[in-house]
Amino acid sequence: MYTFPFLPRLRLLVPMLLLLNAAGAVADDSLPAAQRRMSATLKELNRANGEVKRQEGRLREAEEALARSQRKVEDDKAKLELARKGLDEAKSGAEVAQRDYDQASTEIQRLYRERQPPSTSKP
């Protein structure tokens, strides 16, 4: 698997360019002309290799950013789950407290009624 998707094409393109340049060189067989073609082709190769390295660096940075983002998502999911558990526990505690409050209120009302003197009706 290639880290740069265009690398295989680039590796095929450079030799083809060399061959095309060589085909044009048949008409001009002088050593200086061949050296100029070789120099021009070498510059293009260096430029292409530089672009490959830049793109590989960008890919590496993007992969690292993605990994960081995925770790952050996992951390956030864990925090969310803890928050949900905390909410469930808080709701459960509130329900227990409400039941205790209701029981205490009922008990107070019963005791209050027991302490009240019976009401007598006056005509």
- pTM, to two decimals: 0.51
- Domains of the chain, by residue range, sit at 7-112
One DSSP character per residue, 2-64 reads: -SSTTHHHHHHHHHHHHHHHHHHHTT---HHHHHHHHHHHHHHHHHHHHHHHHHHHHHHHHHH
Label residues 41-79 b or e (16+ Cβ within 10 Å = b).
beeeeeebeeebeebeeeeeeeeeeeeeeeeeeeeeeee
pLDDT tens sequence for the chain (123 residues): 456 666 677 677 777 777 766 655 455 579 999 999 999 999 999 999 999 999 999 999 999 999 999 999 999 999 999 999 999 999 999 999 999 999 999 999 999 998 887 776 655
Measure the CA–CA gap between 82 and 28, rounded to whole angstroms: 77
Name the nearest CA neighbour of 4 among 75, 67, 63.
63
Q: Which residues contact 8 (CB under 8 A, 6 or more apart)?
A: 2
